[in-house]
Structure 1
Amino acid sequence: RVVSHILVTHTHRDHAPLARPLAVAVGGAPILAAQPPERTEHASGALDEDDDADFHPDEILTESEWIEGDGWTLEAMPTPGHASNHMAFVLRQENALFSGDHIMGWSTTVVAPPDGDMTDYMNSLEAVLARGFSTIWPTHGPAITQVAPFLKAYRDHRLEREAQIMARLASGDQLIADMVPVLYAAVDQRLWPAASLSVLAHLIKLEKDGRARASPRPELAATWRLTDPAF
């Protein structure tokens, strides 16, 4: 079969870098993706969630654009959160979603500021749930066929983590460095830098929701407090 298009869900380094060599190898198929974000680096050090600064798609995709081929039709579905430019792809003929890293089959996805945004992620999760897909094909992990229960469990996990963070704030914890050893006590400490970014993403969402406040600004080293001490 001829490769007619190369679709990239987002510009993280474990996804985008091989798009151009693949395009060359298959004779010049165009690379399609959402507009790359401004390059960001995470305060915890290098992660796979850092962007590929050299990635430049041939065509910029926007919401609800359709890409068609012999017997297939794909819809571009923006799903920001894991990355600001994350784009999933709906296979119309099978009511299926190629979810990239927005939804993974073996674990929850990382939402790492500054480019990752928990508010956007939760809104995108609700948008995917509302579509009623029959199958989700993630980049990482097996196919998801029990879609609604899986997505609801994903959502419940995030809401539970949010409640745990609120509880840590209510107990007197003010620093992410104090919360992570408690919230992730059962997790390998080598993963705590990534966990810290996830907690930061939740706290930024809580600040947007008016339930927490950072001093002096929302960042890893900030001091955090509940806006309602009676929580």
Structure 2
Amino acid sequence: MSTPSVTAILRSSELTRRRLAPNPGPMSLDGTNSYLIGAPDIAQPGGAGYASCVVVDPGPLDEQHLQELAAAGTVELILITHRHTDHTAGAARLHELTGAPVRAADPRHCHGGPVLEDNETIRGAGVVIRVLATPGHTSDSVCFHLPDDGTAGTVNPAGSVLTGDTILGRGTTMLDFPDGTLGDYLASLDRLERLGPATVLPAHGPVLPALDEVTRAYREHRQDRLTQIRAALGALGRDAGVQAVTDAVYADIDRAVRPAAEISVAAQLDYLQTEYDRR
């Protein structure tokens, strides 16, 4: 008799399901959302399985999690949003379990498949998937636009977007500076906003209803932080270091995420230095 799955595969939109990986933490929130993409006419009625599917972000190297993904249907393809291990560590093992090629923007995370290209259109498991380069969180970050998707039971004219860590279900995104830069990130937010009110399918946290609204809130948050950092530099001096600026701007931050705050401050200081250099 088989043991029931501890974490179910649940519907996240008309064309997707997701399984929460068992890797919660200060940076991964509840854990990594591993998505299964498949056309509704080939999904098993009332269940999580597909005749065939595309997996996005296999998550950590956790055998039960990967076995559950592999058992959800014939996996045609595995896609990666970016290089961080909470998204990629299980990719090679899922490739072994399913034989499906793994494709990413970073060739180091491809297994049996070519590198993803910006604006490429993929057709997998009966679904159109458009690749969008969205650097900023990392240099290799991509999002996957499903133009024919929507929330469960409805069709959203803007479709849905699997945003990886570029947009989270709650909170804001760390910029992995110097690999990820604020200039790139703001440009990526602009690109995503132009998609309109698409359903947001983030790699961490809950599904959100309107991508354009979220990107505007993210941009406003970044601009607020830049204002705070400018003020800190005004008080501390233009040559103030990351530690001092972090102390001033993130005074009440949880110690567990202090390193992430310092990296974000470094990214913003770099952005402001470029701004000052242009004057």
TM-score (norm 2): 0.66
Distance 2:271 2:84 in 1: 22
Pairing 1:99–2:163 present:
yes
SS, match of residue 226 in structure 2 = helix
Distance 2:232 2:277 in 1: 13
Distance 2:116 2:81 in 1: 10
Q: Which runs of 5+ in 1 are unaligned?
A: 37-53, 213-226
Q: From 113, 126, 130, give the equivalent of 2:194.
A: 130
Distance 1:34 1:190 in 2: 30
**CA drift at 1:197:** 0.8
The answer to whether the 8 Å contact 1:72/1:92 transfers is no
**CA drift at 1:211:** 5.7
TM-score (norm 1): 0.79
Match of residue 207 from structure 1: 273
Distance 2:197 2:127 in 1: 16
Pairing 1:35–2:110 present:
no
Match of residue 69 from structure 2: none
- % identical equivalent positions: 35
Distance 2:167 2:231 in 1: 27
The answer to whether the 8 Å contact 1:125/1:151 transfers is yes
Q: Which letter maps to 1:55?
A: H
How many residues matched?
A: 195
Q: From 13, 17, 29, give the equivalent of 2:89.
A: 17
Distance 1:187 1:211 in 2: 30
Distance 1:90 1:132 in 2: 12
Match of residue 162 from structure 1: 226
Q: From 64, 71, 82, give the equivalent of 2:126.
A: 71
Match of residue 198 from structure 1: 264
Deviation per CA, 1:140-179, whole angstroms, max 9, x where unpaired?
0111103322221111000000110001111124122112
The answer to whether the 8 Å contact 2:175/2:267 transfers is yes
Match of residue 78 from structure 2: 6
SS, match of residue 195 in structure 1 = helix
Pairing 1:183–2:254 present:
no
The answer to whether the 8 Å contact 1:17/1:55 transfers is no
Q: Which letter maps to 1:12?
A: H
Q: Which letter maps to 2:134?
A: T
The answer to whether the 8 Å contact 2:136/2:184 transfers is yes
Match of residue 113 from structure 1: 177
**CA drift at 1:136:** 0.9
Distance 1:133 1:109 in 2: 20
The answer to whether the 8 Å contact 2:163/2:203 transfers is yes
The answer to whether the 8 Å contact 1:79/1:87 transfers is yes
Alignment RMSD: 1.7
